[in-house]
């Protein structure tokens, strides 16, 4: 009966819905490095990224530019998520264009794209009065609520049961730990929601992929 009265009160505008669990308040918005998260598996399997129906949302000049850059923007997807959690909305290519002149990406004469180079992203964040810093040759730092760590991991972290051939080469956004002490993170190239949003791995499992470097973004 009490539940029914509460429901009637909410419908009448006399009561507010229950607050989400405190744990859920820690979860930043999720964005993949491709605009259509549900198609990530297909893009990784070879589908032409110019066929992404949402490519224009990336801020790319055209579908060709979108496709050329998509595989290189895991770091910008992490930055986009971190900034969204702070209330700032940016397209992934707006971020790339802001970070690139600061040294975040280098386009070589042969067309090869180098990056993300951490220093460029850190300079951009520092320019916005965010005291971000590069972390090198160090294990995962402890994170206070609201802090983020863009961690260098092997892309095989999407299948943690498989031993990676090496560490690093891909970036994920770590935003805390759960009650079991597992790291919680978003993976911009995860396949399926379970390996994209709020993925959880024990410190031991995470360390098999983590290259002991990244970008710490404090409050």
Kindly report which listed range (8-12, 109-113, 132-136, 205-209) carries the lowest average pLDDT score: 8-12
Is residue 31 assigned to a domain? Answer: yes
pTM of the prediction? 0.88
- Structural domain boundaries enclosing 55: 21-217
Over residues 194-219, the pLDDT tens digits come to 999 999 999 999 999 999 999 999 98
Question: How much of the chain, in percent, has pLDDT values that exceed 90?
Answer: 87
Over residues 115-157, the pLDDT tens digits come to 999 999 999 999 999 999 999 999 999 999 999 999 999 999 9
Q: 120 and 100 in contact (C-beta within 8 Å)?
A: yes
Domain count, the chain: 1
Is residue 6 assigned to a domain? Answer: no
Is residue 8 assigned to a domain? Answer: no
| Separation CA 193–CA 37 (nearest Å) | 8
Is residue 13 assigned to a domain? Answer: no
Binned at pLDDT 50, 70 and 90, residue 42 comes out as: very high
Q: What CATH number corresponds to the domain at position 73? A: 3.90.70.10
- pLDDT surpassing 80 at residue 103: yes
Is residue 10 assigned to a domain? Answer: no
| Separation CA 99–CA 103 (nearest Å) | 7
Is residue 1 assigned to a domain? Answer: no
Binned at pLDDT 50, 70 and 90, residue 17 comes out as: very low
pLDDT at 5: 38
Q: 171 and 159 in contact (C-beta within 8 Å)?
A: no
Over residues 184-195, the pLDDT tens digits come to 999 999 999 999
Is residue 40 assigned to a domain? Answer: yes
- pLDDT surpassing 60 at residue 25: no
């Amino acid at each position: 009966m009490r539940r029914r009265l509460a429901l009637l009160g909410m419908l009448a505008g006399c009561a507010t819905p229950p607050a989400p669990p405190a744990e859920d308040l820690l979860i930043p918005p999720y964005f993949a490095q491709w605009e259509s998260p549900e198609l990530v598996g297909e893009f990784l399997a070879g589908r032409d990224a110019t066929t992404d129906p949402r490519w224009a949302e990336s801020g790319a000049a055209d579908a060709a530019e979108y496709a050329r850059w998509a595989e290189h923007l895991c770091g910008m997807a992490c930055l986009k998520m971190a900034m969204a959690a702070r209330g700032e909305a940016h397209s992934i290519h707006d971020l790339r264009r802001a970070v690139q002149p600061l040294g975040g990406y280098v386009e070589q004469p042969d067309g090869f794209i180098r990056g993300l180079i951490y220093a460029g992203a850190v300079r951009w964040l520092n320019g916005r009065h965010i005291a971000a810093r590069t972390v090198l040759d160090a294990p995962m730092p402890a994170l206070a609520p609201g802090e983020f760590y863009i961690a260098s991991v092997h892309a095989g972290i999407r299948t943690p049961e498989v031993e990676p051939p090496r560490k690093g080469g891909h970036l994920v956004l770590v935003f805390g730990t759960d009650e079991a002490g597992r790291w919680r993170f978003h993976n911009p190239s995860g396949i399926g929601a379970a390996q994209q949003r709020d993925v959880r791995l024990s410190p031991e499992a995470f360390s098999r992929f983590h290259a002991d470097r990244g970008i710490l973004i404090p409050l």
